[in-house]
Structure 1
């Protein structure tokens, strides 16, 4: 999508602090971190939100989750854990209309999140 900031990051038009990249996904540090460890995992293909995933996207969704877990472990979060968050649409707190998984760790997370 032409005006999507995450599509531009995935396409290399906007720089990011990449952690991981392959043909279908990209992981990078959040530009406005809310925890000592805060990164995003996105599909490179534009999918606006979780509600737009189809049955054909099941492998992609699994890849996003598995890579998020793997990267969290590599960044030292395995012992104490992390928060894995997918915000969806306006009521769910989504601010960028491109599916993305937040991984936050390195401090105690409050519940409810607010």
Structure 2
């Protein structure tokens, strides 16, 4: 199985190379190997404050299902799934994403 991080970066997650090109930046393979082992959902279960989850439905780096799962684990979270947006929110919905973040921070 090959994982496609971004259009320029693919690798086999069971044989991660020493470095991975991510949008022109060289990222050490240790980062990706470590990320696979982190207990992110188990850790999130202990967080009991408000959280804002914004996820692009066209994200090819992290599945929108990850945010859906976080939303079920975080009872005080709000989830916004943004159509036609990828991981970096560079599309036409960027103003909406920035507004959501700003409004959440000033609450």
Query: Does the pair score TM above 0.5?
Result: no
- When Rg is computed on C-alpha atoms for both structures, the one with the higher figure is 2
Comparing both structures, which one devotes a greater share of its residues to strand?
A: 2
Higher helix share: 2
TM range (shorter): under 0.3
Which gives a bigger RCO, structure 1 or 2 (Cα 8 Å, sep 6+)? 1
